[in-house]
Amino acid sequence: MKKIINDPKNYVDESLEGLVLAYPSEFECIGANKRVVVRPDSKASGKVGLATGGGFGHLPLFAGYVGEGLLDSCAVGDVFAGPSANDVTEAIEAADFGSGVLSIIGNYGGDRMVFNMVKDALESKGVRNQLVIVADDVASAPPLEHSKRRGVAGLTFAFKIAGAAAERGRTLDDVAAITERAMNNCRSIGVALSSCTIPQAGKPTFEIDDESIEMGMGIHGEQGVWRGGLKSADDLADEMLDRVLEDNPIASGERIALLCNSLGATPIDELFIFYRRLAQRLSSAGVDIALPMIGHYTTSMEMAGITVSVMTLDDELESLMREPAACPFWRNL
Amino acid sequence: MTQEYDSADLSMIFAKVCERLIDAAPHLNELDAQLGDGDLGTTLRAVATALQGELCNMPLPISDFMEKISQIIAGVSGSSFSAIMMAGVNRVAAETNGQNTLLSTQISDLIRLAMESMMGAGGANLGDKTVLDGLNGIADAIDRETDHTKLASAADEALSRIMKDFKSKPCKIGRARLAGDRSIGLDDPGMTALKHMIEAINGSHDSGSDFTGGVDAH
């Protein structure tokens, strides 16, 4: 294992410590285990609070999107392992400004169960809270079983949409409904070129030889739809776009947000080579890429690969996406 | 004949379970890595280690005892297996309100009620090749066993039989379902964890042919 770390045991905590040292006015770690990331001196009051939680190893996903116009709190687990129920409870409580809390998480068994359990427990204590579960990865289950799909980079859209809606003073029900609508409009797929290593495991999460790639692989190395030889950027872009559009057709004249995301090791150079083809294809289909986003938004540590997320826009979703947010990992559109 | 278990009895049972889970962590991780993310052993070791530190100090009634276990799990782990365990333990807590002892004759009913909550939380059904299939077999075996001194061995035998039956079947839920036929021929990690726990109580050692961890150390 070749990583720039001190002790595998401290991977998460030291990374969070560094995050807070780098951005002391943007992030603070609170709670019994210091595993709840919040906005320090948050001036939020009366607005709907937004919480999330998930395994570590995906930055900026989850904790990195705590910020004004985005999330209020995040419960941080271990690498690729969900946060504990106690940390989730503290995160939701920290995001309670009196108008209820919406938690937005990816569709993973442990996270779903823990957040549901905590939601019910807090509800019975009088903390109004709801849960939106993001399941945007078309490769992880067929359309009829879409509730089994995993949550991947589409989470970034969900956080932004919900964050802006909450800042606008929308109610808990409204924020949840808008976020659900955005996610109904969103589909993603990924391709992995190389594996990654959980520091405490010390060996790669999965094996893939130098010549092979895996289409549809999840952000924790979950099995995809095929494994085979490397293809050109254009061929990959075509296949991934086809798979996404097959699931959610986009008509000529529609406007979309398009997220072209590196899983970690893939350089931005390659993202643009890949994006070039997507833009050509979509443009010839008459689709307007109103909001292109290219960069590291949802990663799997040092995994090489790309994910594509497409979200069709209506006027409200587009204006929520364009609303400025203040967060080191968000570039205003 | 009915046997009553008080808090000290239960603490002793859990002490054996914890010790075994800590020893079995590498075995469970390895098994889990073939189908899932390979952290089941680490998860259970974390829970067992935290519980060990509290066992000399467990409250009564039984419902509080169980709630404390749930709180310990809540503090250390967010995995799906932990969440399912919590759902089961919480149900047992709710069903034993006010009891200062646990009756041996209650155990099978409590297992079935716990299973109901675990199915609700996790969405698994019987036959999906999960820990629930193991628990179901144990509940049936305990029902048939009238001698309370033989409960652990009856549970252990039933679980061995069920794991053998399920070994040739595919997993139908969770990430393991994606492995499809690759899960055929493998023991379910959750059921194997349960086997370790039951063996710890029964004092036996045969969970999985490749398990060697911890046996020689004692």
Summarised one tens digit per residue, pLDDT across range A3-40 is 999 999 999 999 999 999 999 999 999 999 999 999 99
Interatomic CA distance for residues A79 and A301, integer angstroms: 9
> Which residue of chain A comes nearest to B90, CA vs CA?
A117
Q: Which residues of A are catalytic?
A: 58, 220
Count of CB atoms situated within 10 Å of the CB of A4: 4
Give DSSP secondary structure letters for B34-75. TTS-S-HHHHHHHHHHHHHTTGGG--SSHHHHHHHHHHHHHH
C-alpha distances out from residue B202 to A323, B151, B156, B157, B197, Å: 62, 9, 7, 10, 9
Q: Which residues pair with A51 in a beta bridge?
A: A73, A103
- Domains in chain A and their CATH numbers? 8-184 (3.40.50.10440), 186-322 (3.30.1180.20)
The complex scores an ipTM of 0.77
- From the CA of B61, how many Å to the nearest CA of chain A? 21
- Chain A residues within 8 A of B47 when measuring between CB atoms: none
Are B39 and A85 inside 8 Å of each other by CB?
no
**Phi (first) and psi of residue B133, to 5 degrees:** -65, -35
Are A114 and B83 inside 8 Å of each other by CB?
yes
Are A81 and B80 inside 8 Å of each other by CB?
no
Q: Which residue has the tokens 């929308």?
A: A170
Residue/partner pairs of A230-236 with CB below 8 Å, 24 or more apart: A230/A193, A233/A270, A233/A273, A233/A274, A233/A276, A233/A277, A234/A277, A236/A191, A236/A274, A236/A306
Q: Which overall architecture, per CATH, does domain B4-202 show?
A: Alpha Horseshoe (1.25)
**Phi (first) and psi of residue B137, to 5 degrees:** -65, -40
User: Residues 6 or more apart from B182 whose CB is under 8 A from it?
Assistant: B34, B35
Interatomic CA distance for residues A156 and A296, integer angstroms: 11
- Chain B residues within 8 A of A87 when measuring between CB atoms: 78
- Chain A residues within 8 A of B179 when measuring between CB atoms: 223
* Torsion (CA) A330, A165, B78, B72 in degrees, nearest 10: 120
218 residues of chain B, pLDDT tens digit each: 789 999 999 999 999 999 999 999 999 988 988 877 778 998 999 999 999 999 999 999 999 999 999 999 999 888 889 999 999 999 999 999 999 999 999 999 999 999 999 999 888 999 999 999 999 999 999 998 888 889 999 999 999 999 999 999 999 887 777 677 778 999 999 999 999 999 999 998 876 544 444 333 33
Distance of CA B27 to the CA centre of its chain: 15
A187 neighbors A248 (Cβ within 8 angstroms): yes
Average pLDDT, chain A: 96
Q: What is the pLDDT of residues A239-298, one digit of tens each?
A: 999 999 999 999 999 999 999 999 999 999 999 999 999 999 999 999 999 999 999 999
